[in-house]
Amino acid sequence: MTKEEKYSQLVAQVRALVEGEDDPISVMANVSALVHETMHFWWTGFYIVRADGVLHLGPFQGPVACYRIARGRGVCGTALERNETIVVPDVEQFPGHIACSSESRSEIVVPLRGSDAAVLAVLDIDSKELNTFDETDRHHLEAIAAIVAPIAEFNQKHL
Ligand code: SME
CATH (domain of 32): 3.30.450.40
**Whole domain around residue 26: which residue ranges?**
3-158
* Alpha helical stretches, state H, the chain: 3-18, 24-39, 74-82, 135-158
Residue 10 has pLDDT above 90, yes or no: yes
- Start-to-end C-alpha separation, the chain: 40
**Which pLDDT score is estimated for 13?**
98
Structural domain count of the chain: 1
- Across the strands, what pairs with 56? 48, 68
* Closest Cα to atom 7 of ligand 1: 65
Cβ-based neighbour number of residue 21 at 10 Å: 11
Strands in 55-61's sheet, in edge-to-edge order, are: 68-69, 55-61, 43-49, 119-127, 106-113, 86-88
Residue located nearest, by CA, to atom 4 of ligand 1: 100
Q: What is the mean pLDDT of the chain?
A: 95
Q: How many CA atoms lie within 13 A of 138 on its CB side?
A: 10
Mutate to test the pocket of ligand 1, among 71, 80, 98, 101 (most ligand atoms within 8 A of CB): 98
Residue 98 C-alpha to ligand 1 middle, in angstroms? 5
pLDDT at residue 139 in the model: 98
23-60 per-position pLDDT tens digit: 999 999 999 999 999 999 999 999 999 999 999 999 99
Q: Does the pLDDT at position 156 exceed 80?
A: no
More confident residue, 92 or 100: 92
